[in-house]
Structure 1
Amino acid sequence: MIAEKFKQQRAFFLSGATLDPRFREKALKKLLRVLKANESLLDEAIFQDFGKSAYENYSTELATVYAEIKEAICNLGEWSSPGKVPVNLTNFPGKGYIHHDPFGVCLIIGSWNYPYQLTLGPLVPALAAGNTVVLKPSELSPASSVALRKILSEAFPEEYLMVSEGDADVTTQWLAQPFDKIFFTGSPRVGKIVMKAAAEHLASVTLELGGKSPCIVTSCANLKMAARRIVWGKFLNAGQTCIAPDYVLVEQSAAQKLLDEMKRQIHLIYGEDPSRSEGFVRIINHRHFDRLAALVDTEKVFEGGIMDAERLYIAPTILTNVVPDDPIMQEEIFGPLLPVITFTNREEVFPIVEKHRNPLALYLFTSDRRFKKEVVRRIPFGGGCINDTLMHFTNPNLPFGGVGNSGTGSYHGVFGFRCFSREKGVLHKGLWFEPFVKYPPFTGFKKWLMRLMMG
């Protein structure tokens, strides 16, 4: 059945229907319309999966998707038009153009932690670029997956856009098909499996993975603002965010003040009992709960540490006196646990970050201009913020993606369109002149002229 569905998408793409920018614009407008018309269904589903409120469903999921759709609609004409480029003397007289072709049939494998944003986010540029798409939501957020299938299957024919539910076996079957492009969001471990499967068909691959994203705070930072923004960025979605600050590296002289302020901000944002806050969601399942619980050293808990396995609740937790060799520093946390490590010399920061090299994000709170430049220059990371957390993700003019173990490729805005299209160079030559130096007999004069032309 999966092979047959793939063939249907291939046939529809080869029909040429998606090549017309007007077709793509119509599809994007329809996507925006049906999502907005079904917001209540999407709200109910995501609350059922892990207790996310309607407010946060809009602010952290749907708003960014809507923005991506509107950005694509507004710029589709420019993005999809051939771009003229200069030609060198060798190709005179001529004109060069770059065309943006869709890859063809695409597989998008979404993630459970932001089941709408991280599934629909890449769908938008895939459709804008003129591809057909098989959308595979995560089985770990089943209610959200059902909602997406219901909404999209009623709005679009499956030979153009198909939502396929199912577990890892279903994903494996899809990966066996000869897709032209595969876009995956998830862990590095599964990313390697996806890349190996794509290699069988030499499919283009974009991987949005994760890693231990550091948050560096120097003594000259605005500590009150730093604490508020770190607490928000870390505990949003209960820390189940691929670009959440994974750990804090704070200058020793500012450590206690930062810790006290972060504790205060937790209570300001989530109340005295975060389990009763509509802004604090639950852990996705018992397997992830048990993994997180095992990382907590109760002797190092500065704030929080309260857990309720039955309700899949882990309070916002700060751990102190953490050292780089602690178990919590050996893997991406992906939960509401924030280890804090102190340093006395700023050079100490670099080897600690290097141990978990190529993070998806990096955050730096400082007013030291020289140190800002040094961190950005010396540390490879996907993207990040100076004096904030997470917000680079919301700027469509910035590429979002990883490097090395945190991913390959990037998307958002025009970068998403480029992610799902192939640049095709075409040279148009005039007929009124043909350089005689191309043809024998090869004389010394021709060689001299050739060197003059080609450098």
Structure 2
Amino acid sequence: MSREQQAVARARKAFETGRSKCLDHRIRQLKNLQRLFIEKQSVISDAVKKDLNKSEVGTQLYETLGLEGEISLAIKKLKEWAAPRPVEKNLMTISDTVYIQPLIGAIAAGNAAVVKPSEVCVHTAKVMEDLLPVYIDKELYPVVTGGVSETQELLRQRFDHIFYTGNSMVGKLIMEAAAKHLTPVTLELGGKSPCYIDKDCDISIACRRVAWGKYTNCGQTCIAPDYILCEPSVQDRVIEEVKKSIKEFYTDNPKTCPDYGRIINQRHFKRIMNMLEDSAIAAGGDNDESDCYIAPTVLRDVKPEAKVMQEEIFGPLLPILPVNGLGEAIKFINKGEKPLALYVFSSDDKVIKRMTDETSSGGLLANDCLVHYSVSSLPFGGVGNSGMGCYHGKFSFDQLSHLRGCLIKQLKMEGVNSMRYPPHTLKKLGWARFFILNNVDVGWIGRMMLLAVLAVVAAVVLQNYLL
């Protein structure tokens, strides 16, 4: 039995003990995970520094703080999320107990989970492999490290759900493997997230926020603004304002700035540098392969057929594509695959509404970048080529649970059921239509109204017996 098979078998066996279903057990695991981030923050930050040259403050701000917030929310809300959820009834089921029960079966949802970190982030993966088994149940949540062959072996195993973050090419392989067992998947795949800057907005503030969103983590963020769409008349102004923000954030020499990162490895460094070949550099372009350094870079007058426009950049290159207004921008966005995020900067609500109504994307953010990711009450996920399924906060809980419909009847009031039994008559059909098509909210009606409805039920029972 391979290491991957053993991990899956061990997790399944641990799940079958039933301990992950206990809410107190889940809360203990979540609190232990919370403790890991407090006690081992310097270890985590050191690993991220080695992988991406991110500072300790940057690691907390952009990586662990959001995770800590998600854990705190789950601990606070878990009992509420896990409780049966009453649903609306119709008159036919008014005396029955009807609810949605999550089959709580990722930690908050009560699952066992095999964790497979990316082999690309070598140091971060090692920290996960070393620390997770120390803080949380190592049988329920085993960590499997490795590259392509280990991932392929893991995908041959049968899972109840597969959650993957990465690119669409690998996402298709994940989905293909999952199809063999009819396993549902959640895929967060990124893509080319557009950013439209309206010529009449405050361009200085817009470009400051775009520069922050683009160059954070050296552009290696799944929801980074991938490219800018703006009218030709404001392109020069956009370039100048982005350049100002780069200097403000990362100094005149970003290479020596502790807040500016590095590309994850030389393979991706070469991939990004190849994208520059047929576009004009308006700012930046400096690079050092030995250090995996690429300066914050702006490209001007970029053509739709340029190399940099053929795939998600996932690096610090910011192409600007001139378009003749909002209508042309919307057409250009809709010609491509649906992005994970769509950004629009405008002081005109009509512009924002048109962009919202006439495009499709995983998420949309007006007048800022990235921050929608941090709002736990918003679902985060892709659509089409940018993924499927959503998570964050309660959405994560629901995504990794099964909403089980439950109806508990009593062996009474059989007369009401007579309308469904043969022989079928028009009179029975009329009563059935009345009962099924009238939904009631028992909580709103109150007890007195419920008694009145039950009186109607009794009358119908008599009617049915007289048929």
Question: Under TM normalisation by the shorter chain, which class is it?
Answer: over 0.9
Task: Give 1:393 deviation, angstroms.
Answer: 0.4
Structure 2 counterpart SS, 1:139? coil
Which one has a bigger Cα radius of gyration?
2
Aligned match of 1:87 in 89, 94, 119? 89
1:36-80 deviation per Cα after TM superposition (whole angstroms, max 9, x unaligned): 101111111111112111011100100000000001001001100
8 Å CA contact retained: 1:98, 1:423: yes
Aligned partner of 1:404 in structure 2 is 384
Task: Give 1:299 deviation, angstroms.
Answer: 6.3
Aligned partner of 1:348 in structure 2 is 328
**Partner AA of 1:437 in structure 2:** M
Aligned partner of 2:41 in structure 1 is 39
**Shift in CA distance, 70/252, structure 1 to aligned 2, threshold 3 Å:** same
- Matches of residues 212-227 of structure 1 in structure 2 within 5 Å? 212-227=192-207
Aligned partner of 2:184 in structure 1 is 204
Report the more deviating stretch, 284-293 or 152-161. 152-161
Task: Give 1:298 deviation, angstroms.
Answer: 7.4
Aligned match of 1:445 in 424, 427, 448? 427
For 2:425 and 2:41, locate their aligned partners in 1 and report how far apart those are by CA, in whole Å.
Answer: 74
Structure 2 counterpart SS, 1:163? coil
1:382-419 deviation per Cα after TM superposition (whole angstroms, max 9, x unaligned): 11310000000011111100000000000001111111
Report the more deviating stretch, 431-440 or 83-92. 431-440
Aligned partner of 2:127 in structure 1 is 147
Runs of at least 5 residues in structure 1 that lack an aligned partner in the other structure: 104-125
1:361 to 2:341 alignment: yes
**Shift in CA distance, 305/421, structure 1 to aligned 2, threshold 3 Å:** same
Identity among equivalent positions (%) equals 39
**Shift in CA distance, 444/138, structure 1 to aligned 2, threshold 3 Å:** closer
For 1:299 and 1:144, locate their aligned partners in 2 and report how far apart those are by CA, in whole Å.
Answer: 34
Task: Give 1:444 deviation, angstroms.
Answer: 4.3
**Partner AA of 1:15 in structure 2:** T
Task: Give 1:89 deviation, angstroms.
Answer: 1.7
Runs of at least 5 residues in structure 2 that lack an aligned partner in the other structure: 438-467
- Matches of residues 15-30 of structure 1 in structure 2 within 5 Å? 15-30=17-32
For 1:198 and 1:299, locate their aligned partners in 2 and report how far apart those are by CA, in whole Å.
Answer: 40
Aligned match of 2:154 in 156, 165, 174? 174
Task: Give 1:327 deviation, angstroms.
Answer: 1.3
8 Å CA contact retained: 1:247, 1:339: yes
Aligned partner of 1:71 in structure 2 is 73
Task: Provide the TM-score with structure 2 as the length reference.
Answer: 0.90
Task: Give 1:439 deviation, angstroms.
Answer: 2.5
Task: Give 1:158 deviation, angstroms.
Answer: 2.5
Structure 2 counterpart SS, 1:136? coil
Report the more deviating stretch, 264-273 or 295-304. 295-304
- Matches of residues 54-203 of structure 1 in structure 2 within 5 Å? 54-103=56-105, 126-203=106-183
For 2:35 and 2:279, locate their aligned partners in 1 and report how far apart those are by CA, in whole Å.
Answer: 52
Task: Give 1:349 deviation, angstroms.
Answer: 0.4
For 1:441 and 1:290, locate their aligned partners in 2 and report how far apart those are by CA, in whole Å.
Answer: 75
Task: Give 1:15 deviation, angstroms.
Answer: 1.6
Aligned partner of 2:287 in structure 1 is 307
Task: Give 1:442 deviation, angstroms.
Answer: 3.4
For 1:130 and 1:8, locate their aligned partners in 2 and report how far apart those are by CA, in whole Å.
Answer: 16
Structure 1 counterpart SS, 2:210? helix
Report the more deviating stretch, 85-94 or 412-421. 85-94
For 2:55 and 2:153, locate their aligned partners in 1 and report how far apart those are by CA, in whole Å.
Answer: 34
Structure 2 counterpart SS, 1:153? helix
8 Å CA contact retained: 2:279, 2:300: no
**Shift in CA distance, 253/447, structure 1 to aligned 2, threshold 3 Å:** same
8 Å CA contact retained: 2:52, 2:217: no
Structure 1 counterpart SS, 2:89? coil
RMSD value over aligned CA atoms?
1.4
For 1:299 and 1:98, locate their aligned partners in 2 and report how far apart those are by CA, in whole Å.
Answer: 55
8 Å CA contact retained: 1:241, 1:334: yes
For 2:424 and 2:70, locate their aligned partners in 1 and report how far apart those are by CA, in whole Å.
Answer: 57
Aligned length: 433
**Partner AA of 2:58 in structure 1:** E
**Shift in CA distance, 386/299, structure 1 to aligned 2, threshold 3 Å:** closer
Task: Provide the TM-score with structure 1 as the length reference.
Answer: 0.93
**Partner AA of 2:164 in structure 1:** F
